[in-house]
A and B are shown apart, each in its own frame.
Chain A
Amino acid sequence: DTEVTQTPKHLVMGMTNKKSLKCEQHMGHRAMYWYKQKAKKPPELMFVYSYEKLSINESVPSRFSPECPNSSLLNLHLHALQPEDSALYLCASSQRGTGLETQYFGPGTRLLVL
């Protein structure tokens, strides 16, 4: 099973709201990733967790706050977002995150910030 699930599928939020995106995998992977994808563009890496520790933050604004409660779950907490943050947010996982590995992607959460 190579499934990564993400909830919700769609999210509309105002600029003053606080919301969270959730990602889950049950493949026993120990690395999880958040990507942001704008329309007609490739995904851009935001964060990487390896063994539940944040290992990469690609200079993402603090209004995005990741959390990895356990090896199967990854959250992205959103607060005071801007309209330009509207995008498809993709979660991925890989085996260990100790080097380049095959990443398995979820279906994404489409976020609209009004």
Chain B
Amino acid sequence: AQSVTQPDIHITVSEGASLELRCNYSYGATPYLFWYVQSPGQGLQLLLKYFSGDTLVQGIKGFEAEFKRSQSSFNLRKPSVHWSDAAEYFCAVGAPTGTYKYIFGTGTRLKVLA
């Protein structure tokens, strides 16, 4: 069965510091992979996605993620965090065929210190 783990429930970084949010998945083949961000009380905004090809994916708002098959990971990174990046971040995975369903991680709440 597919699963996704976001090991860090909370992360606090200082503004201007670099950021890495971890996402590990369990799936027999290469899944489709997504990162979404959710500001308080808001919907989910797609940051980036990986379906195939180049394993380093660029997204919006200066975010990038790297797919590492050997580690079953799809970690999200940003070189310099802004206060407006404070939000909940969800990693999601899914099988390329046969299902409509995302499997969401439990989320990582990012706090940014001024």
For A45, give the chain B residue with the smallest CB separation: B101
Q: Are A100 and B106 in contact (CB under 8 A)?
A: no
Contact partners of B101 in chain A: CB under 8 A:
45, 56, 100
Q: Which of B34, B43, B49, B94 contacts A108 (CB 8 A)?
A: B43
Asked whether A90 and B95 contact (CB < 8 A) given A42-B104, A48-B100, A103-B102, the answer is no
B87 nearest CB across to chain A (Å): 13
A41 nearest CB across to chain B (Å): 7
A74 nearest CB across to chain B (Å): 14
| B interface secondary structure, majority | loop
Contact partners of B90 in chain A: CB under 8 A:
42-43
Contact partners of A43 in chain B: CB under 8 A:
44, 90, 104
Q: Which of B45, B94, B109 contacts A100 (CB 8 A)?
A: B94
For B103, give the chain A residue with the smallest CB separation: A42
Contact partners of A6 in chain B: CB under 8 A:
43
- Hey, which bits of chain A sit against chain B, CB under 8 A? 2, 4, 6, 31, 33, 40-43, 45, 48, 50, 55-56, 88, 90, 92, 94, 97, 99-108, 110
